[in-house]
Structure 1
Amino acid sequence: MPEGDALARFARKVAEALEGRTVLRAEARGPGPVPKVELLAGQQVESVTSVGKNLLIRFANGLTLRSHLRMYGTWHVYRPGQPWRRPPERARLVLETAEAVVVNFDAPIVELFETRAEPFHRPLAGLGPDLLAEDFDPEEALRRFRDPALAGLAIGDAIMDQRVMAGVGNIWKHETLFRCGIYPWRRVRDLGDDDLRALIETARRLLRAAAGLEPGVRRPAYFVYGKAGRLCRRCGARLRGAPQVADVRLTVWCPRCQPPQPGDPPPGRAGVG
């Protein structure tokens, strides 16, 4: 699933093609609900931004187009007449200007609503602080981690809750927990405030570097993501993998760099609560 850093890169690419330009043709198709994007023809694009894992395109007529890519969605930008790299039947949205053709492929969510409703639109209003935002508030993220409803949740699940802080997905969950030395099944209530502050800051640093927002900083390397059974680059121990609790995908960790503490649940889907 594209994470906050990927959405920031998509937003920059789409913004370069659309911002300040007039949409000549707009087309959307299913599966799923199809927004009335014909309302966008003849409209100027005012801004393109990412918010967590959402991409928002705002238009001069007071409408906002929101997409969420989930697992397989992507954005492509082409010159007029340039062949597409994916089959046309996989296009969910097409926006054409005189200079570019912007295509959203395979996104399960493409919707259109009034820009003035953004602060109240549930998929956006429920998001936690955006890790990539310049005004990111780490103390607000900490406050949300301390929600009693999350106390018994495994930190490997809680860190991906977009209501806590927006932008982290499976990749940066892995890499944040590894760099912080945190066992993925430790309960949120068993982590101190300083532990959570370090986790929040590490996630923000990794995500911003991956998004290209830190000049001169290379994209962070993967130490554990997708590497179950390999040797840890830091200590040489063999990396292990087990399902998370809420997320059934495999979580990979280093048993030496991220050791469980007394009282921590065993790895896997049982024992956290």
Structure 2
Amino acid sequence: MPEGDTVFLVAKRFAKAMAGKTLLRGEFRVPQLATVDLSGREVLGVGTVGKHLFTRFSGDLTLHSHLMMDGMWDVYPAGAKWRRPGHHARVIFTAADVQVIGFRVHDLKLVATSKEHDLVAHLGPDLLDPKWTEEHAARAAAALAADPARELGLALLDQRVMAGVGNLYKCEIAFLLGVTPWTPVSEVDAARTVALARRLLLANALAGRFDQSTTGHLDRNRKNWVYERTRQGCFRCGGKLLVRTQGHDVRRRPTWFCPKDQTGPYPEQ
């Protein structure tokens, strides 16, 4: 599933292409919205809360969408050939000079713009909220520390704690804290963890990087400390990494860590 900064950048690209323009075509290819036609509405803007994307239109109307594992909003010049199969298109928005296509986007809902907060009221503070304050940080830290025995990695992925962290950042945050993702939350500084999560996401979002770097390097083989570095080894010590599964059912995620640079428990297999 994309990280929060990826969704943020998708929304930014979408808004740059469409904001202020009137739809000539606003078609949905999903049963629940198949009869809806948004042509004639102006696109007012595109925003995100965590991994949720909101496209706002004139007339107090918002489209909610989620990328999940396989969704994407692509931008094309008007009339250009799509890079993805047509049968994967769920939403087609066309203006005079541009088209934005939602391929395999999920959780599509049309709601009053004034009511869109109801769809994300269950989430913790959005790490990329432009109005982020110390109150947001304190609330996220309190939520993170609320279950002291919980595994750090599971808490980081819980969007009710703070919105935006995915599996990549989960692994990298744990590494930078020097503990394994299976370490109980009680053994880390909650405020420091929240600050680190926000700093990492914000750095990549502001730099416009879809291919995230947590090390500061942009080369593919140097951009992360442990995430997906099974072949290369730990970026800090060069030692062999271990990868284990964390979570259950649909929340199961491969999890990379360095047994030399990270202390704490982990599954044997």
TM-score range for the pair, normalised by the shorter chain length: 0.7 to 0.9
Q: Does 1:34 align with 2:33?
A: yes
Q: Does 1:126 align with 2:126?
A: no
For residue 182 of structure 1, the aligned residue among 163, 176, 179 is: 179
CA distance, structure 2, for counterparts of residue 84 and residue 214 of structure 1: 23
CA contact (8 A) 1:17 1:99 kept: no
For residue 135 of structure 1, the aligned residue among 131, 134, 148 is: 131
Aligned to 1:165: 162
- Runs of at least 5 residues in structure 2 that lack an aligned partner in the other structure: 215-222
CA distance, structure 2, for counterparts of residue 16 and residue 173 of structure 1: 30
Aligned to 1:156: 153
Aligned to 2:220: none
Q: Which moved more, 1:222-231 or 1:69-78?
A: 222-231
TM-score, scaled to structure 1: 0.87
- Runs of at least 5 residues in structure 1 that lack an aligned partner in the other structure: none
Question: Which runs of at least 4 in structure 1 moved beyond 3 Å after TM superposition?
Answer: 32-37
- Report the secondary structure of 2:157's partner residue: coil
2:160 maps to a residue whose letter is: R
Question: Structure 1 pair 51/213, CA: closer, same or farther in 2 (3 Å)?
Answer: farther
CA distance, structure 1, for counterparts of residue 178 and residue 247 of structure 2: 19
CA contact (8 A) 1:11 1:48 kept: yes
Q: Deviations over 1:191-237 (max 9, x none)?
A: 24xx222211111111111213599xx94321111123642121232
Q: Pairwise CA RMSD of aligned residues?
A: 2.1
- Report the secondary structure of 2:7's partner residue: helix
Aligned to 1:66: 64
Matched positions, count: 254
Aligned to 2:206: 212
CA distance, structure 2, for counterparts of residue 7 and residue 214 of structure 1: 11
Aligned to 1:106: 104
CA distance, structure 1, for counterparts of residue 141 and residue 208 of structure 2: 23
Q: Does 1:21 align with 2:18?
A: no
1:118 maps to a residue whose letter is: E
TM-score, scaled to structure 2: 0.88
CA distance, structure 2, for counterparts of residue 245 and residue 84 of structure 1: 36
Q: Deviations over 1:37-58 (max 9, x none)?
A: 41x2211111111111011111
Q: Does 1:197 align with 2:194?
A: no
- Report the secondary structure of 1:159's partner residue: helix
CA distance, structure 2, for counterparts of residue 48 and residue 37 of structure 1: 19
CA contact (8 A) 2:27 2:34 kept: no
Question: Structure 1 pair 57/35, CA: closer, same or farther in 2 (3 Å)?
Answer: farther
CA distance, structure 1, for counterparts of residue 143 and residue 34 of structure 2: 33
CA contact (8 A) 2:92 2:99 kept: yes
Shift of residue 163, structure 1, vs aligned partner: 0.7
CA contact (8 A) 1:244 1:268 kept: no
Aligned to 2:236: 234
